[in-house]
A = this chain, B = another copy of it.
Amino acid sequence: MKLPIHIDDIRAASERIRSRIHETPVLDSRSINAAVGSDCVFKCENFQRTGSFKFRGACNAVFSLSGKDAGKGVVTHSSGNHAAALALAAGERGIHADIVMPEKTLSNKIRAVESYGGRIIFCRDTLEAREKTTTDVVSATGAIFIHPSDDPLVMAGQGTAALELAARCPDLDAVLAPVGGGGLLSGTATVVKALYPRTAVYGCEPEKADDAFRSLRSGTIVKPQSPDTIADGLRTALGVNTFHVIQKTVDDILLVPETAIVDAMQLLFERMKIVVEPSGAVSLAAVLTHRDRLARMKLGIILSGGNADLNAYWHLLRSRMG
């Protein structure tokens, strides 16, 4: 069965969004290499516009719309990085974006969406309420729904980060990316396996939200059960499209404990001087957790986002400093 995305879709996405996104830097740190015992390069999507890789996929989806569809505007439900990304992408195309958010969303996330010109529609904090509210918007306005992860155009857009990484670093033994809904991981694996079939691709997931791990093991999509991980961007389930790609292309899912996520954030602060949110640091956390398995390999590590609230960030790191 044909996979939902192909390397050519990602190349096309890269052309489409090139002038709008940052080609984010690839950094490395000898002191982190010494600390983990492998040779790491970091693709810094925390420096992407809106603070995460999500802008790539949102931009690809929004700029793929026909003129007629674009005129209807776009809508999504998200309390996180996809919300800000879609608001900005829509703003750049000059179209309307409705963002459905739970009432108790953090104020900095709300301000981000508003600053990019998105209209926020609040709903109760259940998946049912979000989906119902979104459906209501679509019915009332005809707006195009842009899923945060399971849309092939979104998946292809997210894959452009790995395309840039692969061009800079052709000799990686493995590429690691966080997995929540699976948009980033499916796009990443599609690129890597097309260009370098012998390079391993690992999804990285909190133990406390191990639904992708269990989905791959069981061969069917498993929903996360009360995923109370600090990596709030990774609490979502795989979709039909992302699961299909991941099942065919990803070598394994590496689970990480919560403490490793904070340790990774601290290493990134102290050794690399960069701010990475918990979800974004799960890929380095996997290197810390699975040190023996990855020892002496050359690793491409995608740091997916940096939208950490300063207070929450410090309290997390302090909890590990004792």
User: A residues bordering B, Cβ < 8 Å?
Assistant: 25, 27, 30, 46-47, 49, 51, 266, 269-270, 272-276, 306, 310-311, 314, 317-318, 321
| Cβ-defined contact, A273 with B270, below 8 A | no
Given contacts A25-B27, A27-B25, A27-B47, contact A273 B306 (CB under 8 A): yes
CA distance A273 to B42 in the complex (A): 14
Our pick among B47, B51, B269, B311 for the contact of A275 (Cβ within 8 Å) is B269
CA distance A272 to B44 in the complex (A): 11
Given contacts A25-B25, A25-B27, contact A273 B276 (CB under 8 A): yes
| Cβ-defined contact, B310 with A272, below 8 A | no
CB distance from A198 to the nearest CB of B (A): 29
CA distance A318 to B318 in the complex (A): 14
| Cβ-defined contact, B47 with A273, below 8 A | yes
Our pick among B273, B311, B314, B318 for the contact of A274 (Cβ within 8 Å) is B273
Which chain B positions have C-beta within 8 A of A25?
25, 27
CA distance A49 to B28 in the complex (A): 10
Closest 6 CB pairs of A and B: A273-B306, A273-B275, A314-B314, A25-B25, A46-B273, A269-B275
Known contacts A27-B47, A269-B275; 9 further A-B pairs (Cβ under 8 A): A30-B49, A46-B273, A47-B273, A266-B310, A273-B275, A273-B306, A274-B274, A311-B318, A314-B318
